[in-house]
Amino acid sequence: MNSTLAILAILDGISYAALVFLVSVGLSLIFGVLRVVNVAHGSLYAFGAYLAATFSLAVAPISPWLTYPALLAASIVIGVVCGGFIERFLLRPLSGQEDVLQLLITFAAFMIMDNLQRLIWGVQPIFAAEPLRLLPNIAVFGVSYTSYQVILLPGVALATLFGLRYFLRRTLSGAVILAVTEDREASTAIGIDAKRVYFVTFVIGASLAALGGALASPTTSLVPGMGADMIVLSFAVAATAGLGQIEGTALTALMIGLTRAFVIYLQPEFEVLVPYLLMVLVLLVRPFGLFGAVQVRKI
Amino acid sequence: MSGRIKPVTAIAIIFFLVSAVAPLLVSSWATLFALILAKGIVVLGIILLLQAGQVSFGHAMFFATGAYTAAFWGKYVGGGDIVLFIALGGITSAIFGLIVGLFVVRYREIFFGMLNLAFSMVLWSLLEKMFHYTNGADGIRVPRPALLGLSFAPETFQYVILYVSLLIAVVAFYGVQRYLDSPLGHMLRAIKSNETRLEYLGTSARRVLLIGYVISAFLGGIGGTLVAIIQQIATPEFGFWTKSGEFVFIAILGGSAHAFGAFAGAAMFECVRFYAAAHLADTWQLILGVVLIVIILYAPNGLIGLRQRYGQAKQGGH
């Protein structure tokens, strides 16, 4: 492996990690607050991607630069409409019920969305690479790469990371979310509307998944099944990091992204194996994830 | 209740009788009922673990192990017999279940589910990518095996495999019920209600769960072998996480409180899929999703629970 390939692998890994981070951090946030593994998360990712492609194909004839707001608009629409619906009408009636029911109802949402996606957008691959082509290529240590993938995507990921950190730790709304996570009963007693907190958190998490999909849509062709692949991958990242760990998710996404990129260049057939193998190894040693806090058994 | 047959048992007996007789009238039902019974056997394993309060979101790995055991035998050894396939599929899955189980029984709830998922996804990627051995995503064809040395024409064979599935399903159903009623089964339930107290009694909760896990893997493997023989193919899809989700889905649909829930759920699931796929082409997944939501929101104890609720209402809430 020469240095050009190594640089290529690193750039691939970074741009991939940025996308995976956006999706995984949404999953992790939802689990951290609602204690629900959202199986429909991958479908939100896929819907975000498809709607973004539809929007940007629609606005591209007017002005190609409008495709960027179109990506953002698509992810917010999906986050609010689909995410809001799942939380309000599926998860909320189940609060206080067994975990398996909550998990399974998001699985039902996954099945329905997976089917709807085929009905709405068909099974033929869709391409909408306009936003990718608008930005120039740049040279990184002599390797030419699209600046959309090496600057814009990691930029958005970093902005999300620091934005979330700031929001949760420095603003009142963030403090309210943390309070509900810490002790739902006590926070309700001092007048916090826990249901609203759950709703808002779920919509934020869902929007992040859709944003990941929207930003991924220019770089890849959209095919059925992309959601089912993404959910396990983002779950692997979130679980390896420790569910609910925001900074940990970023580091793990980077680690898995880079490892995967190098494996693609060295031993391509084992590409899909990487995240799951890492997940098994990490969870066997540290079931609470690399960055998760160990809970001691009480008795 | 002594001496009287419980209503659920009666329904179970009627169900098994119907699945023995109905396919004789409509021949396309032979495969449908064989699939229902085979899937029901797998879901029995899920229900077993649900008794302990644990949800495995990776049980498709044992299903795939059973299926690929038959497929590999057909590909590398050739020939084969139903009895041999099922014995091998069960044994391989049980051994695999023991190995995975040694790790996963140390964890509970979400961590148990996560680790199962991780193991199953490793198996899935291996099946998908070891192209030289597994034919990748295309899967391996499973040639029609003989039964105790007798080979059959396709029309007869669908009945042969139906009755083999029925026999195994009845034995598995009876066995699982006996197991759940035994001291070991009660200890398994105690893991859900109060694990610490179970350990204070001097029992190892891990060992109790491990036994349950291996049995559950064994059932998953046998079900997988049967489905591979019925559909005459084994593909990596058998081990994908959506398959695991499907099994948990069927368990909740039928009701996890009783072993018969496995077959009630499988019957409903496969019938919806069979008829929706025939009449409404591309929407069977959508319909099943809606069915699942309705069940979870309005009948969280599943189809079995519906009957019990109705029965209780009649007896004035007892």
* B129 inside 8 A of chain A by CB: yes
Band of the pLDDT at A297, cuts 50, 70, 90? Answer: very low
pLDDT tier at A212 (50, 70, 90 boundaries)? very high
Please give the C-alpha separations between residue A197 and each of A5, A206, A253, in angstroms, as whole numbers: 46, 14, 27
How crowded is the C-beta side of B239, counted as CA atoms within 13 Å?
Answer: 29
Q: How far off is chain A from B311, nearest CA to CA, in Å?
A: 23
pLDDT reported for residue B310: 61
The pLDDT-based confidence of A294 (bands split at 50, 70, 90) is low
Q: Which residues of chain B lie closer than 8 angstroms to A236, CB-CB?
A: 118, 121
Other CB atoms closer than 10 Å to residue B26's CB: what's the count?
10
Note whether ipTM > 0.90 here: no
Identity of the residue in B126, B240, B300 whose CB atom sits nearest the CB atom of A101: B300
Across the interface, do A107 and B248 touch by the CB < 8 Å criterion? yes
Residue A282 has pLDDT above 80, yes or no: yes
Q: Could you tell me the pTM of the whole model?
A: 0.87
Distance (Å) from the alpha carbon of A60 to chain B's nearest alpha carbon? 32
Residue A222 pLDDT: 86
Q: Do B55 and A276 touch (CB under 8 A)?
A: no
Query: Does A236 or B317 have the greater pLDDT score?
Result: A236
Residue A294 at interface with chain B, using a CB cutoff of 8 Å: no
- CB pair distance less than 8 Å for A109 and B296: no
Per-residue confidence band for A236, with pLDDT thresholds at 50, 70 and 90: confident
Please list every residue in chain A whose beta carbon sits closer than 8 Å to the beta carbon of residue B128: 272
Residue A117, helix vs strand vs coil = helix
| Chain B residues 219-278 with a CB less than 8 Å from chain A | 240-242, 245, 248-249, 252
A285 in B contact zone (CB under 8 Å)? no
Could you tell me if A107 lies within 8 Å of chain B, comparing CB atoms? yes
Instruction: Determine, for residues A99 and B110 on separate chains, whether the beta-carbon distance falls below 8 Å.
Output: yes
Burial of A159 (0-12, 13-18, 19+ CB in 10 A): exposed
What pLDDT was estimated at residue B318?
Answer: 41
Contact yes or no for B125 and A299 at CB 8 A = no
- Under-70 pLDDT residues of chain B: 1-5, 307-318
A286 touches chain B (CB under 8 A): no
pLDDT of residue B4: 61
Contact A108 B248 (CB under 8 A): no
pLDDT at B317: 42
Which residue of A104, A228, A231 is in closest CB contact with B248? A104
User: Residue A285: what residue type?
Assistant: V
User: On the CB side of B272, how many CA atoms lie within 13 Å of its CA?
Assistant: 17
Q: How many CB atoms lie within 10 A of CB A59?
A: 18
- Per-residue pLDDT at A299: 43
Q: Does A1 contact chain B (CB < 8 Å)?
A: no
Percentage with pLDDT > 70 across chain A: 97
Length of chain A: 299
Produce one character per residue of B134-152: b if its CB has 16 or more CB atoms within 10 Å, e if not: bbbeebbebebbbeeeeee
Chain A CB within 8 Å of residue B292 CB: yes
- The A residues from 109 to 148 touching B (CB cutoff 8 Å) are 109-112, 114-116, 118-119
Sign for the pseudo-dihedral over CA of B94, B100, B102, B104: negative
